[in-house]
Structure 1
Amino acid sequence: MRLGRWLVALCLSACCVLAQAEVVRVRAYDDIIASGVLKVAMYQDFPPYSFVVDGQPRGVDVEMARELADGLGLKLDVLWVAPDETLDDDLRNFIWKGHYLRPNVLADVMLRVPYDREFSYKRNELGELINELVVMFGPYQRERWQSAFDDRRLKEVPTVAVFQYHPVGVEVESVPSFYLSSVFGGRMSKMLHHYPSPQAAFAAMQAGEVDATMAMRGEIDWLLKQANDSHLKLAENAYPDMGKQVWDLGMAVHESNRQLAYALEGVLEPMITEGRLAKIYAGYGLRYELPGLYQDVENEMAAGN
């Protein structure tokens, strides 16, 4: 929740005290190494990225975090994040301030944070940087939107326009929901069915309630692998008039902990360039796409040859 203008002056002294407390709670790089543990924040109940099976953390982000911790000679300690209203709130709760319910619990690093200059330098209504206490770094994956369909009820999806005539399931209050309800003048809105999660929407497609579904590519890949049904297919359509169709994901640390960021980047880069991260993704049935930073390097190398 953002403070109103009239509260800013009243809270100046409290903010000074809070800033001092933040310095105490944020672990310095040497303290992290001495502790033998790397505390990594990742989203709970978020397959295939981070989730729990038989009491054990699983997912591509978990596997990557284990390798990052191991590369620093540390053990992994997962701090599960229950999403707040915005990503800014999540960064505040786990990277630089702490949640009011557990003010002394902060992560050393958080995963699945957009690696995006516009987001990094976003400002509030006062012109202040919203995430000035956060450093976003280490892009490790490119994500995009993906549709899937059941070929017993829908022959192909050459364009999203077919969803004007076929029911499609999406997560409630998600980007696919907003997009499909508004594109083409809202002509597909009457065919939208909303579910509490991408998993529920996919299950509805399996049950015949809807003919298709749309979610993040990693989620769709994972669900198709779990279903193991030859009638459930990936759509190859584009998404006209959609804002951000692809985005890169990276990590975030407290602004005072750039040394940790540099160390993690040193472990991450060979994981990407040697194909070890892609192998982790393949193990969960996911297609791995290099983030833009590494695609640019590959393109430059190809051009040089």
Structure 2
Amino acid sequence: MKALKRTACAILAAGMIALTGCSSTTSGHQTNATNCKPAHDGIQTITPGVLTVAHYEYPPFAYVEDGKLKGLEGEVLQKIADMECLKINVVPGDSAAMITSVQTGRADTTLGSWYRTKARSEVVRLSEPVVTSPLALVSKTGATTVDDLTKLGSVGAGQALVGVGELKSLLGDRLKLYPTNDAEFADFQAGRIQAIVLGYGAAITSLKKQPVEGAEIKIIEADSRLSSTVNVGQTNFPTKLNNNGLGQAIDEDIKTLRNDGAIADIAKKYGFQAEIADPGTPNLL
């Protein structure tokens, strides 16, 4: 895979709370076809014929390469856009702005391993689960449990990671929050933090990109003190609460892609086990 490259626009967006005005458009093979018939009629998007996607780089789930959405969820969302004859307009921003951008109608949806959570269900419409994404711990000690985690020194986590509140309760001032995986792994490489908590897929990609001698990735063992280790997180493509038409179309398209094996095939392409494409009954963390 080519080295991931941030556009100048995405660099400007880093650290900002709101989406920037910079954007790039990608389109699937069906979107330009005059005979394209959408799988669902009457879908409403911010711009007719366009799916506006709030985006931050979160490989292997979502990133932009050669002007196109890539990653496990990036390719799934592109397939959905093709099914609905929609072009994709990617609007980059900081991770903390993604859900808010959908909530306020500045984006139709977002991607990047956003778990289905009760708190998010109150501000956006959560879609059918896309895949499961277990929570992992990267350290040099081989830590696998919450007890192990509490005995470590400083620990890094993403600002928007599910369970940040629980991690703060467990670690207090020893928890350090970051806007990007690159930033937290840079501190891990430099020894400024002793471990990182993040999704398993992102951990694999980030450690490969920014290796740390002696570091290991372990899925955190189930513990009620960190609820997302008990109910494994399910990712989704959220939409605005009152846009049921778009939300229902995405739900049904995800089911179609799951049933025909497309999601499992994409998952395997990015190094996941096919089983994550069968997330089971929808849950809320």
- Range class of TM-score, shorter chain: 0.5 to 0.7
Distance 2:178 2:243 in 1: 40
1:170 is matched with which residue: 156, 165, 175?
156
String of CA shifts for 1:88-114, please: whole Å, max 9, x gaps. x333323xxx4xxxxxxx53x444655
Letter in 2 for 1:182: S
Matches of residues 19-30 of structure 1 in structure 2 within 5 Å?
A: 29-30=41-42
1:203 is matched with which residue: 168, 171, 186?
186
String of CA shifts for 1:160-218, please: whole Å, max 9, x gaps. 333455434303656566544432xx5x855x555553332223334444443211223
**Which residue of structure 2 aligns with residue 41 of structure 1?**
53
**Which residue of structure 1 aligns with residue 278 of structure 2?**
290
- Structure 1 residue 147 and structure 2 residue 141: aligned? no
Letter in 2 for 1:217: Y
Letter in 2 for 1:219: A
2:127 is matched with which residue: 137, 149, 153?
137
Distance 1:203 1:286 in 2: 25
The answer on whether the counterparts of 1:167 and 1:193 sit within 8 Å (CA) in structure 2 is: no
1:215 is matched with which residue: 182, 193, 198?
198
Higher percent of residues as helix? 1
Matches of residues 1-305 of structure 1 in structure 2 within 5 Å?
A: 29-30=41-42, 37-83=49-95, 87=99, 89-94=100-105, 98=106, 106-107=107-108, 109-111=109-111, 114-116=115-117, 119-120=120-121, 122=122, 131=123, 135-150=125-140, 154=141, 156-163=142-149, 165-171=151-157, 173=159, 178-183=165-170, 186=171, 189-190=173-174, 192=175, 195-227=178-210, 231-238=214-221, 239-245=223-229, 246-254=232-240, 257-287=243-273, 288=276, 290-293=278-281
Q: 1:63 to 1:93 in 2, by over 3 A?
A: same
TM superposition shift of 1:147? 0.4
Q: 1:254 to 1:172 in 2, by over 3 A?
A: closer
The answer on whether the counterparts of 2:136 and 2:200 sit within 8 Å (CA) in structure 1 is: yes
TM superposition shift of 1:62? 1.9
Q: 1:31 to 1:267 in 2, by over 3 A?
A: closer
With normalisation by structure 2, the TM-score equals 0.63
- Identical aligned residues as a percent: 19
Structure 2, unpaired ranges of 5+? 1-39
The answer on whether the counterparts of 2:44 and 2:243 sit within 8 Å (CA) in structure 1 is: no
**Which residue of structure 2 aligns with residue 16 of structure 1?**
none
**Which residue of structure 2 aligns with residue 22 of structure 1?**
none
Letter in 2 for 1:293: T
> Quick one: higher RCO (CA 8 Å, sep 6+), 1 or 2?
2
With normalisation by structure 1, the TM-score equals 0.60
C-alpha RMSD over aligned residues: 3.9
Q: 1:42 to 1:284 in 2, by over 3 A?
A: farther
Aligned residues: 236
Distance 1:254 1:182 in 2: 31
The answer on whether the counterparts of 1:51 and 1:57 sit within 8 Å (CA) in structure 2 is: yes
Distance 1:31 1:235 in 2: 42
1:167 match: secondary structure: coil
